[in-house]
């Protein structure tokens, strides 16, 4: 198996609005690097100052560099028939696909993430960032935040991972969605643009009927996993019915679980199992959870991550019962909690949601504000 170990530097973090300023590709035969292609790229836009401060790449440096369309054929030929490898592969792969998409070309390769591989093959590290991980493994990284230095260090990391467990890496290679197994109306570009954060996702058929919904801490990965699960006849059958995907970010997995439960209970999608709405007889007594479920009649907010960095999520419990959830400005703690109710979307009391909240509090450290 041949690998293309790749790193890109860019003008920003959003593939839609950012451009590549440098690309490095090291061809790896499973034992060592056999060839390389490294070049600055003229992004045809100004490089933000904070990005230049991080990478050292300035507008002056890329002024006479080739534009992406001038090296596109070289990239295709250099990587053809290989596995695309990167540290946090979603970013580099997404940026290159976005550049090719602007040229009207659908660039696709099987891809492998060395972060994911490292977590599985070398567990227990304090950090899996490229700099800290390579330092802990004794791998030299020269030129941090430059494409050549980062890609070469990633190639050395790949060699180490292959040496430790070459067969284990094969199972971690991610393959592209195959349109031949999917509904022709499904827009794969929209699927690829789903944020990989906590939320719920919904699948609709060609008649706009909700047929399945789920939750995940990384919704894009979960959606793609469903769409790739065509090896089992039953899964392949309902994958072909998915004509549209919707998603909703929730900030936390707890709110995602609440919304998933509420939607399954009310909508009853045909490919979801029937939800359990009550505890089995004697279950709470057996587990000694009755007092925990009504929170001793307390009123409080549970604070968590928001859907973006500018907000926090809220779950409101009043007199021991779930009342609702919402999202508020990040600095809302400057306000009296009595004013936080304006951010709440109210819901009816529910035994299952009570249990979700109780289990979350038991298992996680949560910011709890009494009211």
CA atoms within 13 A on the CB side of 56: 7
State the pLDDT at residue 177.
Answer: 80
Nearest to 155 by CA among 9, 25, 20, 41: 25
CATH code of the region 3-170: 3.30.420.10
What residue ranges do the domains of the chain occupy? 3-170, 179-267, 283-370
pLDDT at position 273, please? 83
- For β-strands 83-86 and 111-113, DSSP reports them as parallel
pLDDT of residue 285: 41
What's the pLDDT at 287? 47
Amino acid 338: pLDDT: 82
What whole-number distance in Å separates Cα of residue 71 and Cα of residue 78?
Answer: 10
Distances (CA, A) of 2 to 51, 79, 331, 355: 32, 9, 50, 50
Asked if 85 and 158 touch (Cβ cutoff 8 Å), the reply is yes
pLDDT along the chain (371 residues), means of 10: 97 91 97 97 96 95 98 98 95 94 93 94 94 94 90 97 85 82 90 90 96 93 83 72 97 97 94 70 47 80 93 95 95 80 92 92 86 85
Which pLDDT belongs to residue 144?
Answer: 82
- Catalytic positions are 145
Instruction: Give the CATH H-level superfamily of domain 179-267.
Output: GIY-YIG endonuclease (3.40.1440.10)
Q: What's the confidence (pLDDT) of residue 290?
A: 46
């Amino acid at each position: 198996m041949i690998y293309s170990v790749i790193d890109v530097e860019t003008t920003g973090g959003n593939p839609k609005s950012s451009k590549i300023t440098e690309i490095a590709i090291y061809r790896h035969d499973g034992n060592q690097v056999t060839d390389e292609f490294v070049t600055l790229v003229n992004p045809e836009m100004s490089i933000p100052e904070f990005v230049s401060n991080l990478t050292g790449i300035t507008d002056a440096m890329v002024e006479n560099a080739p534009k992406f369309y001038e090296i596109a054929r070289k990239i295709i030929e250099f990587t053809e028939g290989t596995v695309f490898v990167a540290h946090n592969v979603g970013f580099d792969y997404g940026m290159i696909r976005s550049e090719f998409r602007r040229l009207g070309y659908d660039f696709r390769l099987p891809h492998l993430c060395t972060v994911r591989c490292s977590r599985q093959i070398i567990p227990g590290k304090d950090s899996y960032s490229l700099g800290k991980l390579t330092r802990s493994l004794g791998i030299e990284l020269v030129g941090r935040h430059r494409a050549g230095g980062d890609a070469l260090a990633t190639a050395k990391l790949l060699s180490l991972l292959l040496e430790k467990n070459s067969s284990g890496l094969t199972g971690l290679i991610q393959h592209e969605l195959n349109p031949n197994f999917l509904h022709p109306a499904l827009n794969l570009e929209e699927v690829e643009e789903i944020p990989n954060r906590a939320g719920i996702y919904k699948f609709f058929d060609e008649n706009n009927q909700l047929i399945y919904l789920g939750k995940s801490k990384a919704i894009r990965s979960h959606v793609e996993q469903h769409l790739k699960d065509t090896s089992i006849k039953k899964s392949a059958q309902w994958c072909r019915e998915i004509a549209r995907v919707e998603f909703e970010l929730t900030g936390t997995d707890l709110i995602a679980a609440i919304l998933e439960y509420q939607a399954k209970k009310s909508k009853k999608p045909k490919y979801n199992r029937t939800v359990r709405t009550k505890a089995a007889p004697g279950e709470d007594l057996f587990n000694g959870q009755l007092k925990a479920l009504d929170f001793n009649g307390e009123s409080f907010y549970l604070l968590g991550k928001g859907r973006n960095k500018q907000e926090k999520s809220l779950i409101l419990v009043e007199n021991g019962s779930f009342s609702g959830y919402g999202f508020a400005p990040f600095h809302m703690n400057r306000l009296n909690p009595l004013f936080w109710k304006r951010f709440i979307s109210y819901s009816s009391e529910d035994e299952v949601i009570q249990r979700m909240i109780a289990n979350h509090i038991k298992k996680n450290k949560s910011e709890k504000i009494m009211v």
